[in-house]
Amino acid sequence: MFKYIDCIDAGSPYCPCELALKGECIICSQLHGKEFCDCLNWKGTCIYQEFIWNGYKSKKIREFKKFKIVKREYLREDILKLDIKVNKELSRDLNDIGAFVFLKNEKDAEAFSTPISILSSDIETDIITVVIKREGIKSKAIFECQDEILVKGPYFNGIQGQKYLKELKNNSCLILSRGVASAPTVLAAKKLKINKNEVYVLLDRGRSRENFSKPYFLSLGCIVEDVSFLNIDGEIKYEYKKEIEQLIKKWNFKTVLSAGSDDFHEKVINFIYKIDKYINFATVNNSTMCCGEGICGSCIIKGSNNEKIRSCKQQYNPKEVFLRGIN
Amino acid sequence: MKVVVIGGGWAGCAAALEAKKCGADVLLIERTDMLLGLGNVGGIMRNNGRYTAAQEMIELGGGDLFELADKCARHKNVEFPGHKHATLYDVIKMEPTVRRYLLEKNINIMFEARVVDVELDKNSIKGIYLYDGTFIEGDVFVETTGSTGPMGNCLRYGKGCSMCILRCPSYGPRISISKRAGVEDILGMRGDDSYGAMSGSCKLNKESLSDEIREKLERDGVYIVEVPKEDVNLEKLNMKVCQQYALKEFAENIVLLDTGHAKLMTSYYPLEKLRKIKGFENVRFEDPYSGGKANSIRYLSMAPRDNSMKVTGVDNLFVGGEKSGLFVGHTEAIVTGTLAGYNAVRWGLGLKTTTLPASLSVGDIISFENSMKENIEGLKKRYTFAGASYFERMKELNLYTTDDNIIEKRVKNLFIDGIFKERLL
Ligand SMILES: Cc1cc2nc3c(=O)[nH]c(=O)nc-3n(C[C@H](O)[C@H](O)[C@H](O)COP(=O)(O)OP(=O)(O)OC[C@H]3O[C@@H](n4cnc5c(N)ncnc54)[C@H](O)[C@@H]3O)c2cc1C
Ligand code: SF4
Ligand code: FES
């Protein structure tokens, strides 16, 4: 299988990073303990050269900055939507597939910093919109923010398999979405529409009357259908399996974007692979993250060959991670 | 049967052409928008022992590319320090000429297609992946990706990317296909025990030279002028790939050859110093663009092979050109590439692969280079018909001759005349 490895930060102003400094660069062999070139993915710049010309140092790490919350809105008692006024540079950067930030209440310790996907970023008003579900201690702390909040970013690895979304032009894409995981798919849908793709969304409304992202999808011109994917055993219901199969026949989707838990990704990918093994997948990144810089290791998952993947930075082919029994 | 050739330099063109002549289906994959690779900035043929080698190949039936180079010649029978009877082809005409020739022969060529990985089935390659994930299957593969660059190597072992014809920043890095197939590369060394070597010539824009120099160059093919005493730099010679040009004369003199551009026989030359010389006041570099600072780094990626050019450790991978050893030169690339293409087809048909006899220079260099690579001293040398130790050996073994009749007889007596012309399927 084609080994798809990428570092989302490679070639960006944040590259070379601390990993390069410590000889752990994801892409560059010369910055990974080797003495000769054997880079795993070429994005138009030589990371080793950037490192040498930067004085054998890594670039500066992203830092928290304080911004104003301009609107707080409860979509449900446990789902909060925040509009935050950031600066031009950040709003511009965050208007991209897979964009996310770390949020934190100023009074809390560093360990509270929480990765949150961008639902939309308005590059005229510089207002970013995020949706947070109250789950554990970190998200609870964000709910306590009233007027101001600390934001660290931009980060871009909120969606895996981005290559398969970015290469779609005049094509069609199916989005299968559940719960708050649908937030990053709205921004993805926006970019897909700009590239003249048809976007078909099966949107699980969960416990709410309607998924909060539905109006966003509609205003982008996506076709949206409300569904309730899972039966009591947590399996995709027969009726939706049938429907997905029919949609694939009719639309010939090249890429399916799965937005739910990892368990959901696994079910979706294994099911669709059996219908058409050439369909590519993109998945919302659900890893637990702490630093976002590839350092702390809390986001590490295992790839198909048991290799460690720092999923806050590294892009992988979702098939390689979620397909079972095929290699 | 499908032969896939990776890398469209002189070696790759030769391999593709030969495999096609044998009757195979051939796909040639090149990462840039041009064939010939370093051949776009070279031009010297038939100097010293290369004359013998070219004639041997013609007698063997593998002379097409030499004849094309003769046709594109700007000058024949040129002499310059240490070198006799050179032909200088026009680098501007050469690439389109070869390109048309290969296309006329119905060889499929993919441009701007960088190969990044292989799919293995035990010890044999099932197919290769392009940078965008496209999978291409084949029966036999020939790797002729050269040994130059990419950027990290040109930086670590040289003085950074000098923006040469390979244009790595634009087209992405060369990678070692054999290594992706699980075979460790062999590395060339320098006199000082470090790795790689720097390319030994660069090109000046001819229009930027004075009328007088340009006219003389275009008339004689060569122009020689003394380097100001304070600027003579003998040390640069040690870094150089082309040991056949690592002579004191090339440090003490500026030697220009007319290959379409003005070929300057030194690795790099600070522009400021160059412009001090009479007639060079407006001079600028044509290749590498930053030839005032550095040049490309080579010989960091050779695959272990046998004398039929098959890679040791992979069933269906053959190599030619710089990928196959410490060979310097177009002639050397064409010779090794042709044999690789020929044996790739034989292997694909289940026939025994062949070697070239050591009584011909083209056979001897292949086996001699292979045996020399076994020790460190041998890894510090380069092998070319054109000079340095191998040309000495050619003379000692009586292989060197410029008498076409003798060469014809030698090949005929071995009963292998025309073998590279025969269809195998
Ligand atoms: C400045 C200079 C001047 C020279 N002058 C002369 C001269 O006058 N006479 C002479 O005989 N020799 C000369 N040489 C040496 C000679 O050019 C080389 O030894 C010879 O051409 C090497 O041929 P090759 O096919 O092995 O490699 P290359 O010419 O390096 O060709 C390799 C090709 O493979 C392609 N490639 C690499 N990786 C990939 C990939 N992953 N996927 C697809 N394609 C890939 C490259 O783009 C390139 O086109 C000169 C060399 C230099 C640098
Ligand atoms: S000098 Fe040539 S080979 Fe070296 S990095 Fe630059 S373009 Fe590539
Ligand atoms: S979140 Fe810290 S290494 Fe990925």
* Average pLDDT across chain B, whole number: 95
Out of A137, A155, A173, a domain closes at: A155
Which domain range does residue B307 map to? 2-193+297-421
Do residues B65 and B14 touch, judged by C-beta distance below 8 A? Answer: yes
**Per-residue pLDDT tens over the stretch A148-176:** 999 999 999 999 999 999 999 999 999 99
CA B357 to chain centroid: 22
Q: Which among B228, B263, B265 is positioned nearest to B243, based on CA atoms?
A: B265
Give the pLDDT confidence score for residue A325 in this predicted structure. 65
Q: pLDDT band for position B190 (50/70/90)?
A: confident
Task: Let me know whether B319 and B361 are in one domain.
Answer: yes
Q: Is the Cβ atom of B153 under 6 angstroms away from ligand 2?
A: no
Q: Longest Cα pair distance anywhere in chain B, in angstroms? A: 63
Task: Let me know whether B92 and B43 are in one domain.
Answer: yes
Do residues A310 and A299 touch, judged by C-beta distance below 8 A? Answer: yes
Angle at B137 between CA B122 and CA B349, to 5 degrees: 75
- Determine, yes or no, domain membership for A216: yes
Task: Let me know whether A216 and A264 are in one domain.
Answer: yes
Q: Which residues of B touch A36 (CB under 8 A)?
A: 152-153, 156, 185, 187, 195, 300-301
How far is the alpha carbon of A139 from chain B, nearest alpha carbon, in Å?
39
Give the pLDDT confidence score for residue A326 in this predicted structure. 56
How far apart (Å, rounded) are the C-alpha atoms in residues A3 and A307?
A: 12
Task: Let me know whether A147 and A189 are in one domain.
Answer: no
Task: Say whether pLDDT at B171 is over 60.
Answer: yes
CB atoms within 10 A of CB A298: 14
**What's the domain count of chain A?**
2
Encode burial over A226-253: b for 16+ CB neighbours within 10 A, e otherwise: ebebbeeeeebeeebbeebeebbeeeeb
Q: Which among A157, A191, A155, A159 is positioned nearest to A13, based on CA atoms?
A: A155
**Per-residue pLDDT tens over the stretch B271-287:** 999 999 999 999 999 99
Q: Which residues of B touch A49 (CB under 8 A)?
A: 151-152, 155, 160-161
CA A172 to chain centroid: 20
What are the backbone angles phi and psi of residue B298, rounded to the nearest 5°? -130, 175
**Per-residue pLDDT tens over the stretch B6-54:** 999 999 999 999 999 999 999 999 999 999 999 999 999 999 999 999 9
Taking CA–CA distances from A51, the nearest residue in chain B reads B152
Out of B287, B309, B337, a domain closes at: B287
For residue B284, the SS3 value is coil
**Per-residue pLDDT tens over the stretch A89-125:** 999 999 999 999 999 999 999 999 999 999 999 999 9
pTM: 0.92
Ligand 3 pocket mutation pick from A291, A314, A315 by most atoms within 8 angstroms of CB: A291
- Determine, yes or no, domain membership for A49: no
What are the backbone angles phi and psi of residue B186, rounded to the nearest 5°? -95, 145
Cα B162 to ligand 2 centroid, rounded to whole Å: 6
Task: Let me know whether A112 and A175 are in one domain.
Answer: no
How far apart (Å, rounded) are the C-alpha atoms in residues A78 and A72?
A: 13
Task: Let me know whether B279 and B315 are in one domain.
Answer: no
Of A4, A46, A167, the CB nearest to B151: A46
Give the pLDDT confidence score for residue A327 in this predicted structure. 47
Do residues B271 and B415 touch, judged by C-beta distance below 8 A? Answer: no
Task: Let me know whether A276 and A207 are in one domain.
Answer: yes
Angle at A212 between CA A149 and CA A83, to 5 degrees: 20
The single residue listed with the structure tokens 């310059």 is B80
- Determine, yes or no, domain membership for A316: no
Task: Let me know whether B172 and B231 are in one domain.
Answer: no
- Determine, yes or no, domain membership for B256: yes
Is the ipTM higher than 0.90? The answer is no
Alpha carbon distances (Å) from A159 to A40, B283, B410: 20, 52, 67
Strands A148-155 and A64-76, bridge-based pairing = antiparallel
Q: Which among B291, B299, B354 is positioned nearest to B324, based on CA atoms?
A: B299
**Per-residue pLDDT tens over the stretch B61-74:** 999 999 999 999 99
Which domain range does residue A184 map to? 159-286
Kindly state the average pLDDT of the residues A236-249.
Answer: 96
Give the pLDDT confidence score for residue B237 in this predicted structure. 72
CA-nearest residue for atom 6, ligand 2, is B161
Provide the total of helices (H) and of strands (E) in chain A, helices listed first. Answer: 10, 17
Task: Let me know whether A97 and A118 are in one domain.
Answer: yes
Out of A155, A188, A212, a domain closes at: A155
How far apart (Å, rounded) are the C-alpha atoms in residues B231 and B293?
A: 15
Kindly state the average pLDDT of the residues A74-82.
Answer: 94
**Per-residue pLDDT tens over the stretch B301-334:** 999 999 999 999 999 999 999 999 999 999 999 9
- Determine, yes or no, domain membership for A41: no
How far apart (Å, rounded) are the C-alpha atoms in residues B162 and B41?
A: 14
How far apart (Å, rounded) are the C-alpha atoms in residues B126 and B128?
A: 7
Domain containing residue B379: CATH number: 3.50.50.60
Task: Let me know whether B318 and B414 are in one domain.
Answer: yes
Task: Let me know whether B157 and B220 are in one domain.
Answer: no
Taking CA–CA distances from B170, the nearest residue in chain A reads A44
Ligand 3 pocket mutation pick from A312, A314, A315, A316 by most atoms within 8 angstroms of CB: A312
Pick from A42, A163, A315, A319 the residue to mutate for testing the B interface (most B CBs within 10 Å). Answer: A42
How far apart (Å, rounded) are the C-alpha atoms in residues B287 and B162?
A: 9
Do residues B54 and B63 touch, judged by C-beta distance below 8 A? Answer: yes
Give the pLDDT confidence score for residue A196 in this predicted structure. 97
For residue B148, the SS3 value is coil
What are the backbone angles phi and psi of residue B372, rounded to the nearest 5°? -70, -30
- Determine, yes or no, domain membership for A123: yes
Q: pLDDT band for position A4 (50/70/90)?
A: confident
How far apart (Å, rounded) are the C-alpha atoms in residues A163 and A96?
A: 13
CB pairs < 8 Å spanning A and B:
61
Give the pLDDT confidence score for residue B255 in this predicted structure. 95
**What's the domain count of chain B?**
2
How far apart (Å, rounded) are the C-alpha atoms in residues B331 and B339?
A: 13
**Per-residue pLDDT tens over the stretch B355-411:** 999 999 999 999 999 999 999 999 999 999 999 899 999 999 999 999 999 999 999
Q: What is the dihedral of CA A24, A29, A34, A37, to 10 degrees?
A: -160
Cα A313 to ligand 3 centroid, rounded to whole Å: 8
Out of B287, B311, B336, a domain closes at: B287
Task: Say whether pLDDT at B191 is over 80.
Answer: no
